Amino acid sequence: MGIADSTLSLAQSRLGVAAPFLIEQDWNAYTPEQHAVWAELVSRRMPQLREHACQEYLDGFEQIGLREDRLPDLKSVSARLLPRTGWQSTPVSGFLPPDAFFEMLAARMFPTTTWLRSRDSMEYTPEPDIFHDVFGHVPMHAHPVFGDFLEHYGKICAGLMADPVALERMGRLFWFTVEFGLIRQDGQIKVYGSGLISSHGECTRVLAGGCEIKDFDLDAVLDQKFDTGAMQPVLYAVESFDQIYEATKQAEGRLV
Ligand SMILES: [Fe+2]
């Protein structure tokens, strides 16, 4: 058994329903064209994000060693994340069923796709790719409070698998924080949700006032329906990451 095999089987041994979805990332198989697409995606996003992403995202980007010129090696990303927050960026074969997804969050293993969009779909992919997953999500996992929140969120949802109504409401909490969250910092609206971090078009529209921004309110978020395929008409801004962690605990008290 090689080093790569033992990493995979060690990760699998910690999981139940999610274990069959784990794969190795074959980093050496990425082509120069794919590295070039990654570089173009990153260089297109960074000028706006340096100005409008929350500081925790920008710090996390540096801390996990993301580079503009090449696709990330998930093992080295995880090697930098683990000592900070206990999180890992764990390669998976594709879209996970909810029970497997929540099991991995509860284990601080972020399910990470390894495929990259092609040049003809630079702006949008219906399913997440490595750009959305790593560039969009993983830098925030270097932040201790955000990391604690996300693990706790996974644990709560893993316990709600028999309650589809509660699970749908918790899905809205995820959507309006992890995927499309905004935060007020220094009197300005900053982005931290992966869908905004990784999408130039949607982020530009939100920053230009193209969607209503409400103060985060747990009840409103749990009731707010959303359409995954459309631009978002309303988003929510938190004051701090402690606020979403506290809101998640409150939601747990009501739903579980
Ligand atoms: Fe996402």
Q: Catalytic positions, please? A: 132, 137, 179, 198
Q: How far is the CA of 109 from the centre of ligand 1 (A)?
A: 14
Measured distance CA(192)–CA(65) in Å, rounded = 18
Report pLDDT for 1.
Answer: 47
Q: What is the 3-state secondary structure (H, E, C) of 90-140?
A: EEECCCCCHHHHHHHHHCCEEEECCCCCCHHHCCCCCCCCHHHHHHHHHHH
Q: How far is CA 110 from the centre of its chain?
A: 8
Report pLDDT for 3.
Answer: 56
pTM of the model: 0.95
Q: How far is the CA of 179 from the centre of ligand 1 (A)?
A: 5
Residue 172 near residue 222 (C-beta atoms within 8 A): yes
| Three-class SS state of 74 | helix
* Best CA proximity match to 183, nearest among 227, 232, 230, 140: 140
Report pLDDT for 5.
Answer: 64
Q: How far is the CA of 132 from the centre of ligand 1 (A)?
A: 6
pLDDT in tens, 133-143: 999 999 999 99
Ranges under pLDDT 50 in the chain? 1, 256
% of the chain beyond a pLDDT of 70: 98
Report pLDDT for 2.
Answer: 52
| Burial class of 208 by CB neighbour count within 10 A (0 to 12, 13 to 18, 19+) | exposed
Could you give phi then psi for residue 188, rounded to 5 degrees? -125, 155
Residue 78 near residue 70 (C-beta atoms within 8 A): no
Q: How far is the CA of 247 from the centre of ligand 1 (A)?
A: 20
pLDDT in tens, 193-244: 999 999 999 999 999 999 999 999 999 999 999 998 888 899 999 999 999 9
Report residue 50 as tokens.
């340096």
Q: 165 Cβ partners below 8 Å, 6+ apart?
A: none
Q: How far is the CA of 129 from the centre of ligand 1 (A)?
A: 9
| Burial class of 50 by CB neighbour count within 10 A (0 to 12, 13 to 18, 19+) | exposed
Report residue 191 as tokens.
């982005």
Q: How far is the CA of 128 from the centre of ligand 1 (A)?
A: 6
